Amino acid sequence: MAITGVKRDIELLERVPAEAGDQITVLDISLKSNAKALQRLLNRGVACDYFDHHQTGDIPNHPRLRTFLDMSSQMCTSLIVDRHLQGRYRAWAVVAAFGDNLVAAALQAAQTLDMSRLELAQLHDLGNCMNYNAYGDSVEDLHYAPTDLYEAICPYENPLEFIIEEPVFAVLKSAHREDLERAQDLQPQWSQEDKAAIFVLPDEAWSRRINGVWANALAQQSAHRAHAVLVTTGQTFRVSVRAPLINPHGAYAVCAQFAGGGGRESAAGINALPVSEWSSFVKAFSKAYG
């Protein structure tokens, strides 16, 4: 049995119905956010192997818990698992590392695979598509429920065979392109010369799927410009701010002025900005970057 969800859905352990004597494997969710549920499972007699690269908090010391944690910036969960499995499913680990945008680490891991440049490019594409399918507010926003995607890939030892045999890759690739094209048709809601621009996406599933990917694409396209991408959700906006790539600072400071704002210097966000605070947001953003 597999329990998973959209990318933002990380408190998964509290949904695990394991009993004494069961063995569970946890992948790619922060131990800090799941600490209580983990402790409960361990106390109940469940054994756990925990693989992750996010914030850990305190790591419980328990005879039934084995941890495989590595927070270094060029690591992701698939590469931690790959190390543990000694390369048994390395091509899939490479797909996942590409999907996490760890291109250098993916290429390095792929060195033992003896693949052509074209084959590696296909793994890269597949990783991007699978990553794209994780973004949305709920499973209903996605093209494939993550559990279905997991079951679809399970029979395949080789991702290149999966690409040929199953429709999933082609479906996700064209859906990704369509979502991006919709976003690219939009004009900024507000902009100041070539220094700063704010885009507002409508309250639709494609907006919720593409906003993060699109904000990164905008940053790449106009490296001198700061970007804010807002997704309308009823009476609020979900906000993503990207500082200019050539001077990646200030995003956190803009978002932290609003309730529910946070993130990093280069990329930050606000969970639910009331629509009534639109002009305060424009002012803060323009003061920082205009």
Q: For Mn ion, give the closer residue by CB, 28 or 179.
A: 28
Nearest approach, Cβ of residue 90 and Mn ion (Å): 17
Closest contact distance (angstroms) between CB of 240 and Mn ion is 18
Residue 274 neighbours by CB distance under 10 Å: 14
Half-sphere exposure for 235 (CA within 13 Å, toward CB): 2
Residue 81 CB, nearest approach to Mn ion (Å): 11
- Residue closer to Mn ion, measured from CB, 77 or 207: 77
Residues in Cβ contact with 265 at an 8 Å cutoff, skipping those fewer than 6 apart: 243, 248, 249, 250, 251, 252
Shortest gap between Cβ of 92 and Mn ion (angstroms)?
14
Backbone angles phi, psi at 4, to 5 degrees: -150, -170
Q: How far, in whole angstroms, is CA 13 from its chain's centroid?
A: 18
Closer residue to Mn ion (CB): 4 or 77:
77
Closest residue to Mn ion, Cβ-based? 28
**Beta carbon nearer to Mn ion, 105 or 254:** 105
The strand pairing partners of 233, in sequence order, are 236
Which residues are at the interface with Mn ion (CB under 5 A)?
28, 77
CB of 234 to Mn ion, least distance (A): 29
Distance in Å, CB of 27 to Mn ion, minimum: 9
Q: How far apart are the first and last CA of the chain?
A: 51
Nearer to Mn ion, 92 or 237 (CB): 92
31 vs 273, beta carbon nearer Mn ion: 31
Provide the minimum distance between the beta carbon of 54 and Mn ion in the complex, in angstroms, as a whole number: 7
Residue 30 or 147 having the CB closest to Mn ion = 30
Q: How many residues does the chain have?
A: 290
Phi, then psi, of 108 in degrees rounded to 5: -65, -45
Query: Residue written as tokens 């999966």?
Result: 162
